[in-house]
Amino acid sequence: MSKVAIPMLSAYGAQIPVIGFGTSQLGDCGEIVATALKLGYRHIDTAWKYGTEKGVGEGMKASGVPRQDIFLVTKVSHEYLRAADFANSVEESLERLQTDVVDLLLIHWPNPRVPVAESVRALGRAKQLGLTRHIGVSVISTADAREHALNLGALTFVAKPIQNADTVQVLQLLACLHALGNGLHLVARRHFNHRGDDLLAAGIVGGARYEA
């Protein structure tokens, strides 16, 4: 079984494979994730909303790949951004993933009914407790990214779905992150069969890319 060779990105002390394996819409994906890891993938993306955390946990265990060699990402859904709900969601995710810590924990879309300050404090608390090594937010707009970053200086990653975004939108988001001046990294999330390769090939969008 041939393994893929995936370049690495260094950011905030993390070594992140620049191409990840997304699990959206994969359902019971334990065998699929195990196969992906055996093929050489080391960046696995999941989320509560995907319903694949249990399968990812099973796949990591079945693959035989040491947990420390995997960059694991999950997300807290917008339904659970109140502080108490957030903490419970993280604990449940870790249990399903069969791990004590994830490498990157994201807010999965802002919730207009929950104050940003409350949700980002809960995110920061998860990092303080050692439940995640890095934190960030999956955003829809540049304004969302700015508001979340200003509320939590420790925010390190902003994930942006770009399959439906044009070059101007992505450039506006990058300009916003640069203006904030705190070294935020953009993770470009997209399907490989969608447009957006021009952004990645030109180096406009850095970081990892994966189906999500």
Inter-residue contact 55 to 26 (CB < 8 Å) = yes
Output the CA torsion sign for 186, 192, 193, 197. Answer: positive
Catalytic residue among 41, 50, 80, 210: 50
Annotation marks residue 12 as catalytic:
no
- Which positions ≥6 away from 199 have C-beta within 8 Å? 162, 167, 170, 188, 205
Contacts of 52 (CB under 8 A, 6+ apart): 23, 24, 26, 27, 29, 46
- Using CA atoms, how far apart are residues 186 and 180, in angstroms rounded to an integer? 13
Q: Residue 141 corresponds to which amino acid? A: S
* Residues forming the active site: 50
